[in-house]
Structure 1
Amino acid sequence: MDLNLDLLSVRLNGTDLVRELSLDVRSEHVVGLVGPNGSGKSTALRCVYRALKPSSGAVWIGDHDLSTLSLRQSAQLVAALSQESGTDLDFTVEEVIALGRTPHLRGNQPLSARERELCRRAMKQLDVTHLAHRGVLELSGGERQRVLVARALVQEPRVLVLDEPTNHLDVRHQIELLSLLKGSGLTVLIVLHDLNLAAAACDHLGVLAGGRLVASGTPREILTTALIRNVFGVDAEIIAHPLTGDPQLLYSLDPDLVKGTPS
């Protein structure tokens, strides 16, 4: 199912956080939002999972203007992992993951055999089966992050929205998660700060700066030294990955090299 951000704007307390953002996320594609801190990425995502109402513009899921749907209907279409996702209650891992079925249940309706199998499959996919009976408050940040992604998958959304999902994850689990998303068959909108991961995982990138979309295209099209310098204020050498051809950015911590004046 396609996701479309149509001239989306968000103004809060007199400040324009997102300005006329238009972005198409084609069905079953992974689209990344990248940009410096404060560029509007998380704000745009909050509009997609309805934690924030846009000042103008619209979010479309297929033929539906998201604002015309009930919250239950929205939750049946869109699942989200936000930066603030979590729980203060010490539910077990399997209880937290089962909460992903809430939009599809009525009252205290128990999970069906199929839904219990969905939960088991998601736990296996995110490598948390061995944590099933542990309380989530006992988990490390990376373990809890994987539990929350599993909960989102159990929701069976058509669109998955993820805000920095690789936070707290070790290298193995970062790669496994992004590989899972690429093969999930879902429409995915994801915020990533690691541009090398974004280049490897995303079919398309939207670059934000100052709340505006300043570049959009495939990673190979838009990840250039000029864009990295202009948007992020950093000089980087860009090479092609020897196996995939994806652009990979090389940085230096030498201040002279960063300024472009080798010593």
Structure 2
Amino acid sequence: MTGHPTPPTRPARLRLDALRVTIDGRALVRDLSLEAGAGRVTGLVGPNGSGKSTALRCVYRALAPTGGAVRLDDRDLLTLPRRESARSVAALTQENGTELDFTAWEIVALGRTPHLRGNQPLDARERDLCRRAMADLDVLHLADRGVLTLSGGERQRVLAARALVQEPAVLVLDEPTNHLDIRHQIQLLSLLRRTGATVLVVLHDLNLAAAVCDRVGVLADGTLVAAGTPGDVLTPELVREVFGVDATVVPHPLTGAPQLLYSLHSLEGRP
């Protein structure tokens, strides 16, 4: 890593304001109100099907909410021109695959698209942004490789670099540590803390969420059941209620962040 993460534009305050999403008569998100402070890392955690990814899709405008709003610095995101919202919000999603064998460099350079007009080439500063983001995510040596030849973890890091070079005010990530080995998980999450952007991230690993997030929102059945600092939210009682497993919570010996220790026998006798 270079130690000089790609700088964002001025981070924006992100607010989900009574957000509702109903599809085919089923409520996937129910009156979700949550704020991600400017320049802070906010995590969404919860069981499968709890509405986390659906909420994120509303933030990067892949899905229009049924009710409520997503607000950037008190502006309704849906009222912004597409180009302006594309400059403001970058996303790393679970559906980020590509069937076109672009090189890794070409994929990362696509992050500059909202800032360019027509076939305008990247200038020297933008090429440097691409190099720095790829170096930070340990993929610069893959620049000339076709993206279809990369492993799942390598491709994930290339796509994360693409999001960074967009210089977003808000960075939205849905399970960004998928396919990554532990070194690159820590590398990516450490980088998120240093970008200065407002980050909203879905994570399944509660220990990673506790390590990287300033605040955590816990969803269950489309409803926000708790929000606060990891230490306040990730308690044995909540983990048992929401996730249905028993956990012992201990402070990390170096950082003090809560760490959850699970028992392999905690599901015995449960349906």
In structure 2, C-alpha distance between the alignment counterparts of 1:167 and 1:121, rounded to whole Å = 22
For 1:14-93, list aligned pairs within 5 A: 14-93=25-104
In structure 2, C-alpha distance between the alignment counterparts of 1:68 and 1:154, rounded to whole Å = 24
- Structure 1 gap ranges (5+): none
1:193 aligned to 195, 204, 222, which one? 204
Report what 1:159 is aligned to. Answer: 170
SS for the counterpart of 2:200 is: strand
Partners of 1:235 and 1:260 within 8 A in 2: no
In structure 2, C-alpha distance between the alignment counterparts of 1:119 and 1:225, rounded to whole Å = 43
In structure 2, C-alpha distance between the alignment counterparts of 1:187 and 1:29, rounded to whole Å = 5
Report what 2:244 is aligned to. Answer: 233
When residues 127 and 173 of structure 1 are mapped into structure 2, their CA distance, relative to the original with a 3 A threshold, is same
Report what 2:24 is aligned to. Answer: 13
CA shift at 1:63, angstroms?
Answer: 3.1
SS for the counterpart of 1:17 is: strand
Indicate yes or no: 2:260 matched with 1:249: yes
In structure 2, C-alpha distance between the alignment counterparts of 1:7 and 1:194, rounded to whole Å = 26
Report what 2:232 is aligned to. Answer: 221
Partners of 1:219 and 1:247 within 8 A in 2: yes
- Structure 2 gap ranges (5+): 1-11
Indicate yes or no: 2:127 matched with 1:111: no
Partners of 1:235 and 1:259 within 8 A in 2: no
Partners of 1:122 and 1:153 within 8 A in 2: yes
2:151 aligned to 128, 134, 140, which one? 140
- Of 85-94 and 61-70, deviating more is 61-70
SS for the counterpart of 1:183 is: helix
1:183 aligned to 194, 198, 217, which one? 194
Dislocated runs of 4+, deviation >3 Å: 257-261
TM superposition score normalised by structure 2:
0.94
What do residues 181-216 of structure 1 show as CA deviations (whole Å, max 9, x unaligned)? 011101000000000000000000000000000000
In structure 1, C-alpha distance between the alignment counterparts of 2:179 and 2:84, rounded to whole Å = 31
In structure 2, C-alpha distance between the alignment counterparts of 1:63 and 1:135, rounded to whole Å = 41
When residues 195 and 164 of structure 1 are mapped into structure 2, their CA distance, relative to the original with a 3 A threshold, is same
- In the alignment of these two chains, the number of paired residues is 259
Partners of 1:49 and 1:80 within 8 A in 2: yes
In structure 1, C-alpha distance between the alignment counterparts of 2:14 and 2:210, rounded to whole Å = 20
CA shift at 1:70, angstroms?
Answer: 1.4
Identical-pair percentage: 70
Report what 1:131 is aligned to. Answer: 142
In structure 1, C-alpha distance between the alignment counterparts of 2:170 and 2:243, rounded to whole Å = 29
TM superposition score normalised by structure 1:
0.97
Amino acid at match of 1:71: R
What is the Cα-based RMSD across aligned positions, in Å?
1.1
Amino acid at match of 2:234: L
SS for the counterpart of 2:195 is: coil
In structure 2, C-alpha distance between the alignment counterparts of 1:87 and 1:97, rounded to whole Å = 13
Amino acid at match of 2:36: V
SS for the counterpart of 1:38 is: coil
Indicate yes or no: 2:105 matched with 1:94: yes
SS for the counterpart of 2:209 is: helix
In structure 2, C-alpha distance between the alignment counterparts of 1:86 and 1:129, rounded to whole Å = 19
